[in-house]
């Protein structure tokens, strides 16, 4: 990627024992990999230790000035000297207590600058460290305890001289931050000047050579400028890679699929039981124009839960079918595939259209799967709805013209490219959809190769979904919630109960059995979860959609796309276990008809805890775009990028997905200019970009 390479083996630059430990426990083997292992925070002399979230017994690091000391001998055996050293870190005074340390008593004098590391405790409301390791920062010294690890890399005074900022690195049990700090210092001493990857320093930024050095060993002014430059390079790397993808796509040829007057798309538009919203019509017109061109469409359609993305996709697919092309509709779960296939078939039949829809899933019986494959390869199937099974070898299309990917965050760039490749020599048009609104920083990085369309308004007749928190510590509220669900069923409606697990206490099995025997005695209660066979899941979902089930107790298998207009109430059990976007998605399963609907967020969390606050924030707003930003604030970046995002997480180590939009936007604009003027150069500097690393949210 864009930046610098230092492929020197680490064991040729730092001591062999430390190189082996870093390689074994951190999987870092070269000098370049070590220099890309950035500090997670800094100790700044005089700025105070960050004790947010620190509990007694945790190890903390303190940098400050000794204000005074006290020494005395104990009377009871074993007699020893106790030295209390008081260190002001700029925000508070720490008491460091040493037992029998003549060295500490001798060198820790008033006015000395010192770094301490030890177990944090509170004694009479005063923070203290019991027998911490320490090193003096303002004169010849030797380190104690774990800080001795710095001495493996040379003279301590030379390593620490003049430092006002000390880096704290992501470390391991057997590789401390001090070992990493010493190793980085040794590597930087032998590192030749780093050239600018773009030929010249971007205006307003530090040279890359300075940034790489200052991120690890900041000057008195701190690491901010180095951080900004390296963040910019991270963003520019991704933006260039996406720019190259866009440019390459423009060089491919797609089948031209213009609107055909008097055919199926036009017939569907005139026979819909409801008018399209202004937003739906605008997006459909943009898609129609894209499909009419021979440049492959690459468009992302994001929209609020229930904003009508699927009907827009169906109308777009009909435009392709009108031109004799097939469409592939990729969905993340078998339940959703079967529902989409059934719903599309019913919609087409009501409109009197002969368009043929075929479903394909991995758990289909061999006979049905073979029948589906024959219809796909012969061209008998116009629209093929499938799970990942569509990506497998042996799935061949007769004439694939349009690929639609539902719930984009469940599929990576590589997977959607894999499906497009099934079209043979031509490149099919691509429409990807998500009801998880994408924060704008991610939209221009991870989805930078796509044109983004947004649906914000709900179709006519949809009423906003009311939401409420139901805490377990208020039993009357819980009882009222069950009562409300019974009232909705008595009025002829249906309900969802969503559980965070299948088995055990609070799981689908236990909750369904308990409710059927108590709160919902006399009602039809069914269960749905991921361990059920495909045909069984499809049967339960079809029964629920037909009104044969009053209360469906399910896992998040019903999270996306499931559309039962008669369902008007949902309770999410133990909602603190779900993510912000996931709760918003679940809520979107009700309110899909014209009836007033309600989502109840049950929680075991105590009031005034972060978990309770997060659930309350979701209940307080139905704006998915606001919640997407909240999601970023509530998660660490690694969680946002997902458990399968190791490559992307390595690429975006420094960018803050909430705060760095302006910087990312500048990188995106700069990348566009570079791609337009020097495509081959952009291709060269992004040659090792791995598209599979760039998935968005893995919400499971």
Q: Is residue 682 domain-resident?
A: no
Q: Is residue 548 domain-resident?
A: yes
Q: Is residue 322 domain-resident?
A: no
**pLDDT surpassing 60 at residue 642:** no
Is the bond preceding 78 in cis, omega lying within 30 degrees of 0?
yes
Average pLDDT value for residue range 12-26:
94
Average pLDDT value for residue range 660-669:
90
Average pLDDT value for residue range 649-671:
80
User: Distance between CA atoms of 469 and 616, rounded to whole angstroms?
Assistant: 6
User: Distance between CA atoms of 289 and 154, rounded to whole angstroms?
Assistant: 66
CATH of the domain at 474: 3.40.50.300
- How many Cβ atoms sit within 10 Å of the Cβ of residue 474? 12
Residue 414: pLDDT band by 50, 70, 90 thresholds?
Answer: low
Residue 689: pLDDT band by 50, 70, 90 thresholds?
Answer: low
**pLDDT surpassing 90 at residue 326:** yes
User: Distance between CA atoms of 164 and 470, rounded to whole angstroms?
Assistant: 50
User: Distance between CA atoms of 646 and 690, rounded to whole angstroms?
Assistant: 11
Residue 336: pLDDT band by 50, 70, 90 thresholds?
Answer: confident
pLDDT of residue 416: 59
Per-residue pLDDT tens over the stretch 481-517? 999 999 999 999 999 999 999 999 999 999 999 999 9
Q: Which helix (H) or strand (E) holds 358?
A: strand 357-360
Q: Is residue 392 domain-resident?
A: no
Per-residue pLDDT tens over the stretch 54-81? 778 877 888 889 999 988 887 777 778 8
CATH of the domain at 159: 2.40.50.140
**pLDDT surpassing 90 at residue 183:** yes
Q: Note down the domain range covering 528.
A: 466-621
> Which of 210-219, 267-276, 431-440, 589-598 bottoms out in mean pLDDT, i.e. has the lowest?
431-440
pLDDT of residue 250: 76
pLDDT of residue 43: 80
Are the beta carbons of 544 and 526 closer than 8 angstroms? Answer: yes
**pLDDT surpassing 80 at residue 433:** yes
Confidence (pTM): 0.68
Q: Is residue 687 domain-resident?
A: no
pLDDT of residue 584: 87
The whole-chain average pLDDT of the chain stands at 85
Among 621, 638, 671, which residue terminates a domain?
A: 621
Average pLDDT value for residue range 350-357:
94
Q: Is residue 356 domain-resident?
A: no
Per-residue pLDDT tens over the stretch 530-556? 888 888 888 898 899 899 999 999 998
Q: Is residue 162 domain-resident?
A: yes
Are the beta carbons of 134 and 116 closer than 8 angstroms? Answer: yes
DSSP string, 625-689: HHHHHHHHHHS-HHHHH-TT-HHHHHHTSS--TTT-HHHHHHHHHHHHHHHHH-HHHHHHHTTT-
Question: For the chain, how big is the Rg over CA atoms in Å?
Answer: 30
Angle between helices 334-350 and 534-545 (to 10 degrees): 50
Q: Is residue 187 domain-resident?
A: yes
Are the beta carbons of 117 and 61 closer than 8 angstroms? Answer: yes
What total of structural domains would you count in the chain? 2
Q: Is residue 456 packed enough to be buried (19+ CB in 10 Å), middle (13-18) or exposed (0-12)? A: middle
**pLDDT surpassing 90 at residue 581:** no
User: Distance between CA atoms of 309 and 103, rounded to whole angstroms?
Assistant: 71
Among 199, 221, 256, which residue terminates a domain?
A: 199
Among 168, 199, 230, which residue terminates a domain?
A: 199
**pLDDT surpassing 90 at residue 444:** no
């Amino acid at each position: 990627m864009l930046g610098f390479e230092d492929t020197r083996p680490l064991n040729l630059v730092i001591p062999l024992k430390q190189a082996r430990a870093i390689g074994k426990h951190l999987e870092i083997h070269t000098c370049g990999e070590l220099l890309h292992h950035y500090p997670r925070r800094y100790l700044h002399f005089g700025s105070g230790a960050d004790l947010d979230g620190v509990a007694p017994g945790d190890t903390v690091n303190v940098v400050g000035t000794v204000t005074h000391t006290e020494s005395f001998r104990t009377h009871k055996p074993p007699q020893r000297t106790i030295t209390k050293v008081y260190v002001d870190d700029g925000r508070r005074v720490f008491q460091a207590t040493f037992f029998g340390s003549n060295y500490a008593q001798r060198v820790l004098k008033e006015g000395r600058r010192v770094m301490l590391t030890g177990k944090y405790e509170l004694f009479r409301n005063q923070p203290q460290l019991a027998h911490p390791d320490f090193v003096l920062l303002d004169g010849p010294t030797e380190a104690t305890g774990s800080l001795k690890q710095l001495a493996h890399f040379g003279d301590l005074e030379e390593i620490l001289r003049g430092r006002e900022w000390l880096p704290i690195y992501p470390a391991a049990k057997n590789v401390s931050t001090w070992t990493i700090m010493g190793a980085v210092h040794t590597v930087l001493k032998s590192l030749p000047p780093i050239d600018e990857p773009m030929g010249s320093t971007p205006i307003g930024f530090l040279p890359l050579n300075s940034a790489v050095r200052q991120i690890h060993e900041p000057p008195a002014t701190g690491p901010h400028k180095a951080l900004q430059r390296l963040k910019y390079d991270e963003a520019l790397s991704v933006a260039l890679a996406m720019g190259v993808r866009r440019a390459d796509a423009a060089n491919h040829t797609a089948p031209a699929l213009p609107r055909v007057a008097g055919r199926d798309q036009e017939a569907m538009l005139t026979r819909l039981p409801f008018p399209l919203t202004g937003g739906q019509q605008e997006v459909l017109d943009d898609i129609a124009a894209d499909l009419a061109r021979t440049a492959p469409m690459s468009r992302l359609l994001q929209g609020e839960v229930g904003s009508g993305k699927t009907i827009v996709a169906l109308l777009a697919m009909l435009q392709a079918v009108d031109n004799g092309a097939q469409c592939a509709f990729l969905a993340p779960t078998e339940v959703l595939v079967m529902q989409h296939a059934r719903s599309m078939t019913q919609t087409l039949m009501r409109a009197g259209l002969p368009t043929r829809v075929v479903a394909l899933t991995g758990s289909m019986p061999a006979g049905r799967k073979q029948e589906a494959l024959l219809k796909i390869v012969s061209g008998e199937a116009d629209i093929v709805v499938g799970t990942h099974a569509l990506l497998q070898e042996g799935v061949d299309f007769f004439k694939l013209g349009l690929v639609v990917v539902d719930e984009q965050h469940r599929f990576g760039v590589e997977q959607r490219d894999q499906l497009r490749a099934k079209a043979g020599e031509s490149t099919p048009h691509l429409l990807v959809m998500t009801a998880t609104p994408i924060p704008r920083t991610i939209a221009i990085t991870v989805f930078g190769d796509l044109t983004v369309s947004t649906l914000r308004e709900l179709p006519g007749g949809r009423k906003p979904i009311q939401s409420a928190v139901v805490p377990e510590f208020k039993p009357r509220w819980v009882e009222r919630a069950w009562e409300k669900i019974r009232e909705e069923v008595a009025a002829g409606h249906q309900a969802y109960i969503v559980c965070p697990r299948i088995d055990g206490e609070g799981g689908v099995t236990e909750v369904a059995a308990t409710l059927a025997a108590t709160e919902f005695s006399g009602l039809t209660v069914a269960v749905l979860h991921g361990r059920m066979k495909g045909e069984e899941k499809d049967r339960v979902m079809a029964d629920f959609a037909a009104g044969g089930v009053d209360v469906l107790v399910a896992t998040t298998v019903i999270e996306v796309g499931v559309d039962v207009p008669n369902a008007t109430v949902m309770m999410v059990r133990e909602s603190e276990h779900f993510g912000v976007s996931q709760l918003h998605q679940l809520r979107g399963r009700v309110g899909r008809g014209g009836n007033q609907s309600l989502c109840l967020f049950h929680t075991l969390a105590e009031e005034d805890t972060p978990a309770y606050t997060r659930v309350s924030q979701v209940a307080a707003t139905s704006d998915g775009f606001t919640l997407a930003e909240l999601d970023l604030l509530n998660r660490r970046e690694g969680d946002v990028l997902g458990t399968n995002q190791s490559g992307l997480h390595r690429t975006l180590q420094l960018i803050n997905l909430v705060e760095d939009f302006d910087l990312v936007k500048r990188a995106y604009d700069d990348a566009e200019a570079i791609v337009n003027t020097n495509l081959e150069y952009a291709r060269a500097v992004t040659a090792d970009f791995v598209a599979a690393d760039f998935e968005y949210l893995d919400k499971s």
